[in-house]
Chains A and B, each alone.
Chain A
């Protein structure tokens, strides 16, 4: 459990010298242990065990779920919905952003409607997606995709509008077709904006998947946290929250790795 604290803090301490080195990691670990002891101590004495459970019970619950393998079924369902939603949402959002970015008329036409859709809390669409796509994983994917779509769309759109008009003119002067202008000038120009959109949307894909599972499902971490809560199983709720947090951290690592790889590609080849 102390290793958990360390992992959560890891993005900040990825270069230990900046965060204060080995000593800081030690202090962070000590803080984690202290919090766990305080939690264990307070539980049942200062606060009713019903409300905050205690680290030992939570650990035991995690151990049981791991041993019988049930947590992996839920974990995989959530990962699958997150990934699929992320991919679908970013492809659609990117395509929409590029299309509207290069079509001033259409973008002006759709502007008020897109603003309204964007202002709408997308999680409110969950019941609609359940009606459309059923109780299965499809409705979770749809919700994750809807959240991702708007973030990627807005970033891509902004990136495309930001493209230097002089570069477009110079390409067109050299007989670039409209398609060539898009693929060889506009998209590469907007790439860093698109990456930024993709980056921020990863946690939202997870949010979409988890909320989708909470609304109506029989699988996934969202379902499990909802189910545990309904059973008044506080230890179970905490255990799932820890798994979700770990998943979020893992996804962030993945995004960092992919981004580094892509940026490298961007600056070394082509």
Chain B
């Protein structure tokens, strides 16, 4: 469904040239959940930005359902690394924002928002403003907004980074449940290998910048997965160890 072929991305700012991605090839199928993992600043966010059409690749192309992504791709819901909430809107109005854009009546969109607010554990904070929330809460508002938008493909950039361990598990469960219910394709970027293996059908390990694919591994754990207990199975451990062996090299090289 998403075909990324021979994609390179180079950023030029005055004298500095930064190569973020090199010869990146990846095909993502419908309803697949793909985790992209790699060292910080390796170009993972760049990949998501290009799938969302925020900027084009320097070389190569990205096809979305057979059509080249050349402008903002409104078929994707994108939860960016920065929460990008509208500071003058309350939690509820931020979450209902995509519905408001679609022209839904106030009472109806508030009902929708209310359900998601409960699901992400923000009940009681409906009328708060983003600057009154903690980092983890803002992340959840951003996640809720993306869920409300309900796109067929969800791009998530370190969606659970600022959350504590318990909340993280709850959000993992929510993500898997919603992806299954809404038949969504999900691509998420993470630093957390445990998270990647728990959630994904396939894990892509990236090299240090410029990002290339170092390893691609199918995760054969059965669905639906129990996000709480799946990590204690042998199968999980095998996947985890194999990925970690490769990932460790990237992190070690980074230190040198």
Would you give the 0/1 interface string for B68-81, flagging 1 where the beta carbon is closer than 8 Å to chain A? Answer: 00001110111010
Determine the distance from Cα of A257 to Cα of B77 in the docked complex, in whole angstroms. 42
Q: How large is the interface on A (under 10, 10 to 19, 20 to 34, 35 or more residues)?
A: 20 to 34
Q: Does B82 contact A (CB under 8 A)?
A: yes
Chain A, range 140-181, C-beta contacts under 8 Å to B: 164, 166-167, 169-177, 180
Number of B residues with CB within 8 Å of any CB on chain A: 23
Instruction: A270 to B98: give the CA distance in the assembly, Å.
Output: 15
Q: How distant is the Cα of A185 from the Cα of B52 in the complex, in angstroms?
A: 19
| A127 located at the interface, meaning its Cβ lies under 8 Å from any Cβ of chain B in the complex | no
Decide if A173 touches B72 in the complex (CB within 8 Å).
yes
A60 at interface, CB cutoff 8 A: no
Contact of B93 among A173, A189, A270 (CB under 8 A): A270
Main secondary structure of the interface of A (DSSP, over half): helix
Chain B residues contacting A171 (CB-CB under 8 Å) are: 97, 101
Task: Please indicate the chain B residues that have their CB under 8 angstroms from the CB of A191 in the complex.
Answer: 88
A27 at the interface (CB under 8 A from B): no
Q: How far is the CA of A188 from the CA of B77 in the complex (A)?
A: 23
Q: How far apart sit A22 and B14, CA to CA, in the bound complex (Å)?
A: 59
In chain B, residues 201-256, which have Cβ atoms closer than 8 Å to a Cβ of chain A?
none
CB proximity of A182 to chain B, nearest CB, Å = 13
For A113, list chain B residues within 8 Å (CB): none
Decide if A270 touches B74 in the complex (CB within 8 Å).
Answer: no
**Cβ of A105 < 8 Å from any Cβ of B?**
no
Q: B149 an interface residue at 8 Å Cβ cutoff?
A: yes
Nearest A residue (CB) for B102:
A175
In B81-121, the 8 Å CB interface with A consists of 82, 84, 86, 88-90, 93, 97-98, 100-102
CB < 8 Å neighbour of B101 from A166, A184, A188 = A184
Q: Is there a chain A Cβ closer than 8 Å to B129's Cβ?
A: yes
Check B54 for interface membership: any CB of A closer than 8 A. yes
> Is B78 touching A170 in the complex (CB atoms < 8 A)?
yes
Which residue of the partner chain A has the closest CB to B79? A170
- Please tell me if A266 contacts chain B, counting CB pairs below 8 Å: yes
Asked if A170 meets B84 with Cβ closer than 8 Å, knowing A175-B101, A180-B101, A184-B100, the reply is yes
Question: A176, B76: Cβ atoms under 8 Å?
Answer: no
Q: What residues of B have a CB within 8 angstroms of the CB of A174 in the complex?
A: 74, 77, 97-98, 101, 149
List the A side residues contacting B52 at CB < 8 Å.
173
Interface residues of A (CB under 8 A from B): 164, 166-167, 169-177, 180, 184-185, 188-189, 191, 266-267, 270
